[in-house]
Structure formats: structure tokens, C-alpha cells
């Protein structure tokens, strides 16, 4: 294990690996690790947890710049103190690196703020596999990081290429990202959380699409009752909460900001109610759950700070992540839930409702045989989802076996790899490399 503290140390370690012919795999989040991207028997681990500086929080231009080792648990309270918030994934663990979450294109909860799939990632500094330090977008220049007087927030470029896209979901195979600028949003001054239940996910998918087309909700996520109860129930209360839930619940939160916040909440709450009525659904603000709705709302805007991370309530978990367009979502979800009726499902509308990220989680007692069986089950399921329109853009574990069938696209990726990591130092053997 290597523990760099500075970009220069990362650079030296990469150059040393190039010289020795060894491999390096960067990791920036603390345990538990779920996807295996940072597990590589052919590489030393480059642990970035000591790179934990919050470099800038800017309320006026609404961004935060953090080193790779800064976790949600540390960052969120600091942002709140500045009246800002992040576009978070659903109830992440506190040890999750904010930079890694954005780089991995984790599902975000507020799709109205997501204009493009890499959002909220803006600019990054990276050390390529060559050992060269590079900054993307407007952080590139002119001049050094200290000389450049811009806020370094424009993600595109420099020039005719989007370098930050080479690094996203690349599992550390192109460069080691040492810091990133992330888009932050104004923290609301008022809000109202709606619970919209349904026996089937299909009307809720359509409702989410309609609401997001009109840019109504801030947070918007669809859960089945297994995932809902695992996430929000008090210990020992999972079954009671599950029994009180509809099979599927859309959580939809409307917000007001600094000026006339209550008025906005009233207006936008009305839009939610109107849309629900049009779909034959009901939006409730105080459902008869054995959990306080206010607590659910607080949890939606934070990481999971309880002793046991919600996905590990039964001890262990394996998950399958896929991305689908709205037209394919019902069929993909139907196949997943028919195949795995005991799984937990999180369906996150993305990019203003133009796609859904679906997470299918299998929860079980810690047991290597169970884990192996779960992995095999999910891989087999993934194979059946491809013809239904599922796209595995974050291919962990064995999923690369289902991808890269287009030799030209695979060759193009390898050309990029050979430019930025010619000696295959970074996470060797991952993806199609």
C-alpha cells in the first residue's frame, strides 16, 4: 500500500511503477468497497485517503474543490455551513470519496441539476500513466494552478477534446485523479417531501419523466419496499415498515430557496399533486409509516451516518447497476424484479429524466459461497437484460465480458490507453485493457 499526500508524490510513485514494471490501482474511498474496481492482484494499491484537503468552497459560483480523499462524511457539513449541498447519490456511506462518486458516474438524486452524464464533475487534476500532470477544462490554464485567475469550473476541453470524459468510469486505468471541482447547489430554505406509492413501477416511471421534463422536483428517486425498508427503518423495524409500504414508492422533494421559499414550495407542490392526479396517483406528505417522514427527508440529503451501513444490514451485499432509456425501463425492471423478487431496487432518474439508473441489490448473511452465488446470479441476469435495452456503462466485476463486442470501439479505447498509460501501469487488466 502506498499513501501519497501530494500530487508530486503520486507522480513519483507512477514514475517508479513505470520504471519497475509494476502496476498501481488508485483507491480513494474508505471501506467497505462494493464493486471491486480497486481490487487488482497485479497492482499495488495507491491509497489517496491522505489527500483530504477541501481546497475551496465557493458560495457565489457554487462549486467545491476537493482532493480525492475527501469523503462525503467530512464534506457535507462543511458545505452546509456555506449554505450549499452536493447532488448526492442515494444514502451513500460516509467513507465514500466525493471525487470517486462523481468520477464513477454514480446515480445522483437531483436529476434536474444534471445536464450531462458526468455532472456534477467539473474539472480535475490528474496524473496520467505517463507521469504527466494535467488539468482539465478551464483549470488547464492559462498558466499554473495558482496563476489562473478563473474559478476553474468549465468542464470541457481544453481545446477539441473532453479529457475529463476519458477519466470518468475508467476505474483508474487512464490517470490518477488527485482533486476535482464539483458543482454545488444552494441549500433550500423550505421543502416538502412527497411519498407516491404504486403497485407497479410503471406509472411512477412515467410520472418521474413528466415531473422532470417540467423540472419540478429536486430529489427524485423510486424505491421498492425492500430497499425502502432497508434504507430507512430503525434496526429491527424493517418488516413493520415493509408491511406499511406500497410495492413501489417515488420520493419526490420540492424546494424553495432564499427568496420567498414557502411560495415556491406551494407552487411546485401543486405541480406534483396535479401530475399525480393526471396519472391516477396520490402524493402524500405524511404517510402512515412507522418512520418519521422528516427523518426520511433528512436522510435523503445526507450520507448514512448510522453504525451499520444500510446495504449491510444483513451482513453483505452484491449489486447490479445498469442504465436504461425511459422506453426500456419498464421491461428491464420487470425482468429484474421477476428474476429477483427479494432484491432491493433503487431507480434513479438521471439527466433531467432522459434515463434511469437501476440498482438491483441482493442482501445476505456474510458467507463466501453466498457471495459467489449472488455474483453469478447477477451476471446471468445482466446477460438477459442486454437484449431488453440495458446498458452497462459502469462495468464492474465480470460485466466487461458483456461489452466491447465492437472491435473498432474497443480498439479506439486501447489507442487512448496507449497514449495516457503506455506501459499499462494503471489498474492493469481492467475493462478491455
Partner 1 sequence: MSLPKAVYEELEKVVGSRNISDKEYVLAGNRAQTPEIPVRHRSADAIVLPGSTEEVAEIVRICRRHGVRYVGTVSGGIPTAYATEENTILIHFKRMNRILEINEKDRYAVVEPGVRHVQLYPEVRKRGLSYTAAAVGPGGSVLVNIACTGGDHHNQYGSSRPTRYLLGVEMVTPEGEILRTGSLEAGAGWFCPESAGPSLRGIVKGYSGNAGHIGIVTKCAIALDRCKGPAATRTEGVSPHSRIYMDDECSRVYVFNYSSIQDVGRAMLALGESEVGATVQKYFYLPLSLMMTSSANEFWEKWDGFRKAFPMPLVVHLAPHSVREREYEEKILFDVVRETGGVRLPRELERWWEEHMDYFMIVSRLQSVLRLGGSWLPIKTGGESVRHLCDIGDSIREFIHDFTDTGKIFDAPQNYQIIPMEYGHFASFELLFMWDRTDPNSFRYMQEFCAASRETDLKHHAHSMTAGGYGRAGEALGRLYCDCHLWAGRIRHSFDPDFDPDA
Q: Is the peptide bond before 122 cis (omega within 30 degrees of 0)?
A: no
Among 1, 280, 327, 368, binds partner 1 (CB under 8 A): 327
Cβ-based neighbours of 431, under 8 Å, separated by 6 or more? 170, 171, 173, 395, 400, 404, 413
Residue 34 and residue 104: Cα distance in Å, rounded? 13
Nearest to partner 1 of 210, 314 (CB atom):
210
According to the binding rule CB under 8 A, does residue 124 interact with partner 1? no
Q: Tell me whether residue 185 or residue 304 sits nearer to partner 1 (CB atom).
A: 185
Q: Which of 67-75, 86-94, 311-319, 386-394 is the region at the interface with partner 1 (rule: CB under 8 A)?
A: 386-394
Q: Which of 127, 343, 417, 425 binds partner 1 (CB under 8 A)?
A: 417
- Interface with partner 1, residue 213, by CB under 8 A: yes
392 lies in the site for partner 1, by CB under 8 A: yes
Torsion angle, CA of 57/59/60/66, rounded to 10 degrees?
20
Pick the closer one to partner 1 by CB: 122 or 230. 122
> CB of 208: closest distance to partner 1 in angstroms?
13
Check residue 237 for interaction with partner 1 (CB under 8 A). Answer: no
Among all chains, which residue has been given the C-alpha cell 489527500? 51
CA 387 to chain centroid: 25
364 binds partner 1 (CB under 8 A): no
d(CA 256, CA 238): 32
Nearer to partner 1 among residue 263 and residue 367 (C-beta): 263
Q: Tell me if 418 contacts partner 1 by CB under 8 A.
A: yes
426 binds partner 1 (CB under 8 A): no
Q: Between residue 4 and residue 43, which ones bind partner 1 under the rule CB under 8 A?
A: none
CB of 7 to partner 1, least distance (A): 13
Least CB distance to partner 1 at residue 398 (A): 13
Determine, following the binding rule CB under 8 A, whether residue 90 of this chain makes contact with partner 1. no
Q: State how far the Cα of 101 lies from the Cα of 86, in Å rounded to an integer.
A: 11
Question: Taking the chain, what is the end-to-end CA distance rounded to the nearest angstrom?
Answer: 23
Instruction: Please report how close the Cβ of residue 413 comes to partner 1 at its closest, in angstroms.
Output: 6
> How far apart are alpha carbons 184 and 113 in whole angstroms?
10
Size of the site for partner 1 (CB under 8 A): 95
If the CB atoms of residues 214 and 367 are measured against partner 1, the closer one turns out to be 214
* 3-class secondary structure, 228: helix
In terms of phi and psi (left: phi > 0; alpha: psi -120 to 50; beta: otherwise), the region of 171 is left
Q: Which of 274, 278, 270, 227 is nearest to 251 (CA)?
A: 227
Q: Are strands 24-27 and 44-47 parallel, antiparallel or unpaired?
A: parallel
Q: Which of residues 132-191 bind partner 1 (CB under 8 A)?
A: 132-135, 137-138, 140-143, 147-154, 156-171, 173-174, 183, 186
Q: What is the DSSP letter of 259?
A: S
Minimum separation from the CB atom of position 32 to partner 1 (A): 24
Residue 262 binds partner 1 (CB under 8 A): no
User: Could you say which of 6, 20, 116, 367 contacts partner 1 (CB under 8 A)?
Assistant: 116
Amino acid at each position: 500500500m502506498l499513501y501519497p499526500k501530494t500530487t508530486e508524490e503520486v507522480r513519483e510513485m507512477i514514475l517508479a511503477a513505470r520504471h519497475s514494471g509494476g502496476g498501481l490501482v488508485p483507491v480513494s474511498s474508505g471501506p467497505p468497497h462494493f464493486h471491486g474496481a480497486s481490487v487488482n492482484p497485479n497492482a499495488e494499491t495507491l491509497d489517496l485517503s491522505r489527500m483530504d484537503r477541501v481546497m475551496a468552497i465557493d458560495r457565489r459560483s457554487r462549486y467545491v474543490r476537493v482532493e480525492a480523499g475527501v469523503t462525503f462524511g467530512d464534506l457535507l457539513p462543511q458545505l452546509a455551513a456555506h449554505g450549499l449541498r452536493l447532488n448526492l447519490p442515494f444514502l451513500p456511506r460516509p467513507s465514500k470519496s466525493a471525487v470517486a462518486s462523481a468520477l464513477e458516474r454514480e446515480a445522483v438524486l437531483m436529476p434536474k441539476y444534471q445536464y450531462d452524464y458526468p455532472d456534477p464533475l467539473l474539472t480535475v487534476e490528474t496524473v496520467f500513466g505517463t507521469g504527466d500532470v494535467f488539468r482539465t477544462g478551464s483549470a488547464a490554464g492559462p498558466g499554473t494552478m495558482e496563476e489562473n485567475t478563473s474559478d476553474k469550473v468549465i468542464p470541457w476541453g481544453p481545446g477539441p477534446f473532453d479529457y475529463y470524459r476519458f477519466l470518468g468510469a475508467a476505474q483508474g486505468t487512464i490517470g490518477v485523479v488527485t482533486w476535482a471541482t464539483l458543482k454545488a447547489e444552494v441549500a433550500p430554505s423550505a421543502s416538502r417531501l412527497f411519498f407516491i406509492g404504486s403497485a407497479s413501477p410503471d406509472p411512477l416511471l412515467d410520472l418521474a419523466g413528466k415531473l422532470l421534463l417540467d423540472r419540478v422536483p429536486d430529489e427524485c428517486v423510486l424505491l421498492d419496499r425492500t430497499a425502502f425498508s432497508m434504507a430507512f427503518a430503525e434496526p429491527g423495524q424493517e418488516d413493520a415498515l415493509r408491511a406499511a409500504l406500497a410495492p413501489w414508492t417515488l420520493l419526490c422533494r420540492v424546494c424553495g430557496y432564499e427568496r420567498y421559499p414557502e411560495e415556491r414550495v406551494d407552487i411546485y407542490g401543486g405541480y406534483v399533486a396535479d401530475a399525480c392526479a393526471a396519472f391516477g396517483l396520490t402524493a402524500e406528505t405524511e404517510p402512515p409509516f412507522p418512520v418519521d417522514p422528516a427523518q426520511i427527508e433528512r436522510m435523503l440529503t445526507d450520507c448514512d451516518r448510522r453504525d451499520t451501513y444500510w446495504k449491510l444490514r444483513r451482513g453483505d451485499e452484491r449489486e447490479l447497476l445498469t442504465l436504461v432509456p425511459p422506453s426500456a425501463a419498464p421491461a428491464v425492471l420487470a425482468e429484474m424484479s421477476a428474476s429477483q423478487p427479494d432484491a432491493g431496487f433503487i431507480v434513479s432518474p438521471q439527466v433531467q429524466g432522459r434515463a434511469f439508473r437501476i440498482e438491483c441489490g441482493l442482501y445476505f448473511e456474510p458467507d463466501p459461497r453466498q457471495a459467489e452465488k449472488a455474483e453469478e446470479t447477477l451476471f446471468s441476469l445482466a446477460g438477459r437484460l442486454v437484449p431488453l435495452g440495458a446498458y452497462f456503462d459502469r462495468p464492474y466485476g465480470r460485466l466487461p465480458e458483456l461489452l466491447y463486442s465492437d472491435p473498432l470501439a474497443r480498439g479506439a479505447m486501447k489507442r487512448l490507453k496507449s497514449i495516457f498509460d503506455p506501459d499499462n501501469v494503471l489498474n492493469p487488466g481492467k475493462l478491455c485493457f
